[in-house]
Amino acid sequence: MLRELFRYKTTFATILADDAKFFEPAKEAMIDARLEIESEISVNPLFLSSLVPVEKETESVHVERMVSAAKKAGTGPMAAVAGTIAWAGVEAMKENGAKAAVIDNGGDIALFSDKEIRIGLYAGNSSMSKKSAFIIPPGKEIYGVCTSSATVGPSISFGVADSVTVFSADVSLADAWATMICNDLRSPISEYPMNIDEMGVDGVFATFGKESAGWGILPEIRAAIVDTGLITSG
């Protein structure tokens, strides 16, 4: 797959596609999504700062996805912003005829592909970091693989987990839940309760130092060498 880095304001993403002609539709869609979100913030500053769900009726599909995800996960809507923007870009590539597309927006990934995709795990001091990869099977529908970390990257986290990765067809929801769980995880993950059925996602995988644990339906995990030079940071 071809690869291109994309930066617009605070969005810093890696785009992969089976043809370079799909890069521009992805970029345009991500910019449009950001502009809709920024427009919402301009009239409702609480949308930006709230750490809890915000009630909002909107005609913007991107704002609605964030609001809905936040309500289900119990976060502020901005907890879903990176996944939502990645989702918009991958949707545009799919609508324009791409057979495979991946957007990694600071660790929050939207994808679909006619071939197997490997997603490397980068999780700070975790014993699995840079040594493991999730194997995402081929699929025609867009899928979300979103990761939050309390030890990697500039994002604020109130937890201590090296990584929390959530898998879901709802990319915004995967992003919001990854943020929520990572904020909440302050003790060894073997003791952390998880009810996947109530969350509305497929699965969760977390690392905490030398520990790791999974809940729900997870992709295969294989040993891999992760090239950190290809990792984006939000």
Domain ranges of the chain: 2-226
Q: What is the mean pLDDT of the chain?
A: 89
pLDDT of 212 higher than 90: no
Q: What is the pLDDT of residue 185?
A: 81
Q: Which CATH fold topology does 2-226 show?
A: T-fold (3.10.520)
Q: What is the pLDDT of residue 161?
A: 74
Q: What is the pLDDT of residue 234?
A: 33
Structural contact between residues 172 and 129, judged by C-beta atoms closer than 8 angstroms? no
Residue 158 pLDDT class (50, 70, 90 cuts) = low
Q: Burial of 109 by CB count in 10 Å (0-12 exposed, 13-18 middle, 19+ buried)?
A: buried
